[in-house]
């Protein structure tokens, strides 16, 4: 049984989400601020976090940063605002997905299910793996350990970033549209395709010497992205 941590300072929201999740046989832990959330997270085995942005004591962004110091569990932001900047901020600091309040319970459950499925595949050495090691230039992926090396140095990477990078590096020089990347990595229709751009930006910051002038992960304007094989 999966353990899900729901964090929101509005008790009615946490109680409602708890009902939806328990009906799907998930075990639910509830917290009402970031401090309480971290206490639970560090004590229990949590498999996914649903977290509000605006909270007392410690907000959702700072709580997410703390969780990301030692864990790659899926994190879904709950935001009362629809502005793009809130979504981008959440993704930039390590969230995997977002959903805007008020939300449809079926959509919430779909996001939870898909994020847990991807995370489980990541931990279980995804059956789609073609080979154990992919190396292009100074970038190397070790699929068995899900490890990223850049010029021989280990670099921290989230499960979603890993899957995006694996897709592109498995098909060097092939251009993938944003929608295609989303559908292949998220395994669902591209309803939040703008998240791909944010994740690509974060990957560049980890593998490129100069992210503004990338050597590997390049944009093909009006088409999509590709991982370029350096010329010999």
Residues 160-209 have pLDDT tens digits of 889 899 999 999 999 999 999 998 888 777 777 778 888 999 899 999 99
30 with 115, same domain: the answer is yes
Q: Is residue 128 part of a domain?
A: no
For 5, the token pair is 């941590």
Please give the biggest Cα pair distance in the chain. 60
Question: Considering only CA atoms, which of 96, 137, 134, 140 is closest in space to residue 118?
Answer: 96
Q: Is residue 67 part of a domain?
A: yes
For 92, the token pair is 């930039």
For 143, the token pair is 């699929």
- Between residues 94 and 122, which one has the greater pLDDT? 94
Strands (E), 11-124: 27-31, 48-52, 75-79, 97-100
Q: Are 96 and 78 in contact (CB under 8 A)?
A: no
Q: At which of 68, 90, 123 does a domain end?
A: 123
**What CATH number does the domain containing 152 carry?**
1.10.10.10
pLDDT tens digits for 201-229?
A: 989 999 999 988 999 999 998 889 999 98
Strands (E), the chain: 3-7, 27-31, 48-52, 75-79, 97-100, 133-136, 139-142, 147-150, 153-155, 217-220, 224-227
89 with 181, same domain: the answer is no
**pTM, 2 dp:** 0.66
Q: At which of 89, 104, 123 does a domain end?
A: 123
Q: Is residue 214 part of a domain?
A: yes
pLDDT at 226: 94
46 with 18, same domain: the answer is yes
Q: Are 94 and 65 in contact (CB under 8 A)?
A: yes
pLDDT tens digits for 37-73?
A: 999 999 999 999 999 988 888 988 899 999 988 888 9
Query: Mean pLDDT over residues 20-28, rounded?
Result: 93
Q: At which of 89, 123, 157 does a domain end?
A: 123
181 with 119, same domain: the answer is no
Q: What confidence tier does 127 reach under pLDDT thresholds 50, 70, 90?
A: very low
Q: Is residue 167 part of a domain?
A: yes
Q: What confidence tier does 87 reach under pLDDT thresholds 50, 70, 90?
A: low
141 with 118, same domain: the answer is no
- Between residues 78 and 131, which one has the greater pLDDT? 78
With 50 as the cut, is the pLDDT of residue 5 above it? yes
30 with 138, same domain: the answer is no
Summary mean pLDDT of the chain: 86
Q: Is residue 96 part of a domain?
A: yes
Query: Half-sphere exposure of 122 toward its Cβ, with a 13 Å CA cutoff?
Result: 24
Strands (E), 1-129: 3-7, 27-31, 48-52, 75-79, 97-100
Q: Is residue 179 part of a domain?
A: yes
Q: Is residue 232 part of a domain?
A: no
The proportion of the chain whose per-residue pLDDT surpasses 90, expressed as a percent, equals 44
Q: Is residue 26 part of a domain?
A: yes
30 with 79, same domain: the answer is yes
Measure the CA–CA gap between 185 and 179, rounded to whole angstroms: 10
With 80 as the cut, is the pLDDT of residue 80 above it? no
In total, the chain counts a number of residues equal to 232
> Among the listed ranges 35-49, 78-92, 121-135, 217-231, which one has the minimum average pLDDT value?
121-135
CA 203 to chain CA centroid, Å, is 12
115 with 142, same domain: the answer is no
Measure the CA–CA gap between 31 and 177, rounded to whole angstroms: 39
Query: Mean pLDDT over residues 5-33, rounded?
Result: 94
**What CATH number does the domain containing 109 carry?**
3.40.50.2300
Query: Mean pLDDT over residues 111-123, rounded?
Result: 82
Q: What confidence tier does 119 reach under pLDDT thresholds 50, 70, 90?
A: confident
| Sign of the CA dihedral running 72, 74, 79, 83 | positive
193 with 108, same domain: the answer is no
Query: Mean pLDDT over residues 79-102, rounded?
Result: 75
78 with 178, same domain: the answer is no
81 with 166, same domain: the answer is no
Q: Which domain holds residue 51?
A: 3-123
Number of structural domains found in the chain = 2
């Amino acid at each position: 049984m999966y353990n899900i941590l729901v964090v929101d300072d509005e008790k009615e929201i946490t109680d409602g989400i708890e009902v939806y999740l328990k009906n799907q046989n998930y075990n639910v832990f509830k917290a009402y601020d970031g401090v309480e959330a971290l206490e639970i997270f560090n004590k229990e085995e949590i498999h996914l976090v649903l977290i509000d942005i605006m909270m007392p004591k410690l907000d959702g962004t700072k709580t997410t940063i703390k969780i990301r110091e030692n864990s790659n569990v899926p994190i879904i932001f709950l935001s009362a605002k629809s502005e793009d900047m809130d979504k981008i901020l959440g993704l930039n600091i390590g969230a995997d997905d977002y959903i805007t309040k008020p939300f449809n319970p079926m959509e919430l459950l779909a996001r939870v299910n898909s994020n847990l499925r991807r995370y489980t595949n990541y931990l279980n050495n995804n059956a789609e793996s073609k080979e154990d090691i992919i190396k292009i230039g100074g970038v190397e992926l070790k699929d068995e350990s899900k490890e990223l090396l850049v010029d021989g140095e280990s670099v921290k990477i989230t499960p979603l970033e890993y899957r995006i990078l694996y897709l592109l590096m498995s098909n060097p020089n092939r251009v993938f549209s944003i929608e295609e990347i989303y559908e292949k990595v998220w395994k669902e229709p591209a309803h939040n395709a703008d998240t791909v751009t944010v994740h690509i930006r974060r990957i560049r910051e980890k593998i490129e010497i100069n992210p503004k002038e990338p050597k590997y992960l390049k944009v093909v304007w009006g088409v999509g992205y590709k991982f370029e094989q350096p010329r010999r």
